[in-house]
Amino acid sequence: MYKSYFGFDEAPFSITPDPKFIYMSQRHEDALAHLRYGLFETNGFVLLTGEVGTGKTALCRCLLEQLPKTIDIAFILNPKQTALELVANICDELHLQYPAETASIKVLIDLLNKKLLDNHSQGRRTILIIDEAQNLSDEVLEQIRLLTNLETSKRKLLQILLVGQPELQDMLARPVMRQLTQRITARYHIAPLSQVETAAYIRHRMWIAGVQRPIFSSPAIDKIYRLCNGTPRLINIICDRALLGAYAKNADTIDAKMVTQAACEILPNAKNSFFNPTRKIVAAGIILTSFAVAAYTLPPWGQLEAPSSEEPHVISKSASTQSAIQPITKETTAPEPATLQSANVQPETSERETILSIRQNKHTPLIVATALTAVKTDKNRTYATVTLKELLDDSNCNSSSETAVNDLFNLWGITYQPEAGRTACDMANRAGLSCVQSQGTWNNLRRYNRPAIIELQSSRGHWQHLLISALNEDGMLLSCGKKTTRITFNEADKHWFGEYLIFWQPPKRRMRFERGNRGEDVRQFRNQIKTALGIHDTKSSDIFDASLEEQVMEFQRNNSLKADGVAGKETIILLNTLTKKAGIPLLAAVER
């Protein structure tokens, strides 16, 4: 009813687990990394738990979309079955034929074992995913454990992922389940979204559904977070009803009062639990404590140098057109970079260290950031160290100014001159670059590893555009014009809702490579892939054939990308980074 009224292409807050709408918070990305590690690098059970409505099933759907075609999947959605029924269900999922009236588990196990051995001989893998696993009986859990005994001398033939609510952990912690528990080699618990992630989640789903303007006010989003405690399913339910209420009132925006009314209509205990007049709930404002400039030892910006020694990418001005692209001058060598020395830096959690250690294998080149350093910029400019609050209150940084855009172009070695009717992305395209303007998490920026413009909200509610020119595991270097500051992620999270803009350099002829393509650019792409994988053969074909497709899939798997053999935006960006393509500014140094 409200879709056409607000301009949505489809309902943005459906509670069905559509992978297209999944918002990859940092904890969801970490969970996905755990699942990939457990399913591909170990031979035991993998366990994923989380409260009701935190996105476990959606994450599994997302995982399924990223699995290569060489994997057979048995996905059990209703595990409340007997042992015989469950094994029969697995056989059905794997398209095995068995006698219709069989009452023998042995018959089914023999058929399943034959299928698994056939898959193994063909280089295929088989994965069993059981959702709502907290509903499994002890008898069925024991049968599932016995399925892992189907193995060769070197590996298990069936990989098993158990997905369930927190009580599943309690079930498996009992002494009677110790044989199964000892076989769990990877586990992850999904926590609800934070307040900042809740706002980003709402905006993300509306953006996917075709609407980019803010419909929910900031107080409305704060109210939603307090009601839902960051649970995505509850967020969807309340947002959907609030949109319907706004449509009924012919309202263009949704305020906190509408959210309250929506919650009272659909949450049975909402009125008593949250809106009792005798219970006063005070919304906490965004308060950022200014930190002393003396706590930092940042040298003048012009003295900070990029990790790479490559020359800036220079675009010359055309004599026939009034181009917005001007050449820049070469910079001089800079002193050693400064390191982040904030007293507010938070220590890394063991969970993050676990994720990093998972990715550190001999096949996977890593993006590392030991010292927080800035990429090249104008050596003649003097930069002042300020607090984040001062940057957020600077009128030169607001969303209507082009200061950050100019700085981003400068990092790519391009002088930016705005033109009427042309966006920053239009000007980037003219210079041979491409734009990514999206919504995500710090992990997205780590993966892209390119300088970025992010949108932050000040304590007064104003939107500011700031440039990230350096990033490490502790924090980032932010700037606007001649002012700069270094802050931690915790500080930035109070103001960032996930919006970012980056530039990247696509190949000259095509934006993606796939099987059947041919040309000199394919030959160059092949050489890049071989360099990234450490392959030293002499083949130099200009055709994207089956062997190159396999190499692309290997590269994608090694770097936690969707292994489909098609080199699109993310694959090309990461490939350019890891092969240290000339003229590309990076947020962090690259170790291979």
Q: What is the pLDDT of residues 289-307, one digit of tens each?
A: 333 333 333 333 223 333 3
Domains, the chain, ordered by start: 26-190 (3.40.50.300), 194-274 (1.10.8.60), 293-342+369-504 (3.90.70.10)
What value does the mean pLDDT take over residues 92-106?
86
What was the pLDDT predicted at 294? 31
What pLDDT, in 10s, does the model give residues 411-436?
A: 999 888 887 767 788 788 888 888 88
Is the predicted pLDDT of residue 325 greater than 60, yes or no? Answer: no
What pLDDT, in 10s, does the model give residues 493-525?
A: 888 878 889 999 888 777 788 888 888 889 989
Is the predicted pLDDT of residue 2 greater than 90, yes or no? Answer: no
Percent of the chain with pLDDT over 70: 79
What was the pLDDT predicted at 468? 93
- 3-state SS, residue 27: helix
Three-state secondary structure string covering 128-154: EEECCHHHCCHHHHHHHHHHCCCECCC
What pLDDT, in 10s, does the model give residues 149-192?
A: 888 777 788 889 999 998 888 888 888 888 888 888 888 888 88
Tokens in use for 70?
A: 């060489």
Question: Which DSSP category does 340 fall into?
Answer: -
- Model confidence at 258, in pLDDT bands (50, 70, 90)? very high
Lowest mean pLDDT: which of 85-89, 352-356, 445-449?
A: 352-356
What was the pLDDT predicted at 341? 32
What was the pLDDT predicted at 417? 82
- Model confidence at 235, in pLDDT bands (50, 70, 90)? very high
Closest CA to 16 of 63, 53, 65: 53
Q: What amino acid occupies position 118?
A: D
What was the pLDDT predicted at 38? 77
What was the pLDDT predicted at 254? 92
- 3-state SS, residue 459: coil
- Model confidence at 467, in pLDDT bands (50, 70, 90)? very high
What value does the mean pLDDT take over residues 10-31?
83
Tokens in use for 558?
A: 């090694």
Mean pLDDT, the chain, integer: 76
Is the predicted pLDDT of residue 352 greater than 50, yes or no? Answer: no
Residues 6+ apart with CB under 8 A from 530: 536, 537, 551
Question: Which DSSP category does 395 fall into?
Answer: G
Is the predicted pLDDT of residue 344 greater than 70, yes or no? Answer: no
What was the pLDDT predicted at 244? 92
What was the pLDDT predicted at 266? 81
- Model confidence at 308, in pLDDT bands (50, 70, 90)? very low
Is the predicted pLDDT of residue 65 greater than 90, yes or no? Answer: no
What was the pLDDT predicted at 421? 66
404 and 465 Cβ atoms separated by less than 8 Å: yes
Tokens in use for 255?
A: 């305020």
What was the pLDDT predicted at 590? 61
